[in-house]
Amino acid sequence: MKILEAAKRAGLTVKTLRYYANIGMVTPHQDPATSYRDYSEEDVAKLQFVGKARRFDFSVEECRELLGLYEDRNRPSREVKALTLKKVAEIDSRLAELQSLKDELSGLASACDGDHRPDCPILNALSGQT
């Protein structure tokens, strides 16, 4: 099938499919005469796989790793689990970071009157004057 249909089936954009082809992640057959790409059902399955992994916050390089494991029918599940737990840990530390930012900012916001007057604890905090 042609690129637009493959993109629709995978829930991705045509640009994304071309990008994945360029970086060698999902490489459909390409007609040398017209240079049209021709996606197989298996290509679409891989695209769907990558699309889901991306939505799980895996980077494109991590998706490439996962795809490699996915295609290796004999890989130990250990490796996949390790990658997943690493990603969970990353998400966890980002969560903690964002939570602490939110707490600080909320604290500042609630200390600020938010009226027409110029006095503002938020700016005071940012400028270091307590």
The correct pick among 40, 41, 42, 60 for binding DNA (CB under 7 A) is 60
Q: Of the candidates 4, 89, 91, 95, which one interacts with DNA according to CB under 7 A?
A: 4
Instruction: Note whether 51 and 12 are within 8 A (CB).
Output: yes
Interface pick for DNA out of 11, 27, 29, 36 (rule CB under 7 A)? 36
- Is 77 exposed, middle or buried (CB count within 10 Å of its CB: 0-12, 13-18, 19+)? exposed
Phi, psi (degrees; rounded to nearest 5) at 37: -85, 145
Under rule CB under 7 A, residue 3 binds DNA: yes
- Least distance in angstroms from the C-beta of 36 to a second copy: 27
